[in-house]
Amino acid sequence: MPSPPPAGPEVERLALSEGSWVDVARGWLGDADEVFEVLLRDVEFSTSRLFRYDHWVEERRLGASWRPPQPLPHPAVGEAQGAI
């Protein structure tokens, strides 16, 4: 039996199949459209490569990272990190 949804904002649990689900917390991130636009405009996303067994494989996703003393591209990124 799956555990209940996490406490906090109202969460909608969507069943995917037996034993799998996704919890959706609509409105959890205020100004989500603004945050998305800032990230899209100001962050350089790129793919990366991983060494698997005996060869390099390119990941089929985009990612970005920050390290101090670099400022975060938007304060909501730090807030989301803390909440997660």
Q: How confident is the model over 18-35, as pLDDT tens digits?
A: 999 999 988 888 889 999
Q: Structural domain tally of the chain?
A: 2
Q: Are residues 16 and 48 in the same domain?
A: no
Distance CA 46, CA 35 (A): 19
Q: Are residues 21 and 43 in the same domain?
A: no
- pLDDT tens per residue, range 46-75: 999 999 999 999 999 999 988 889 999 999
Q: Residue 84: what pLDDT?
A: 80
Q: Are residues 24 and 57 in the same domain?
A: no
Q: Are residues 36 and 18 in the same domain?
A: no
At position 18, the amino acid (one-letter code) is E
Q: Are residues 53 and 69 in the same domain?
A: yes
Q: Are residues 17 and 41 in the same domain?
A: no
Please state the length of the chain: 84
Domain span holding position 20: 1-28
With 80 as the cut, is the pLDDT of residue 6 above it? no
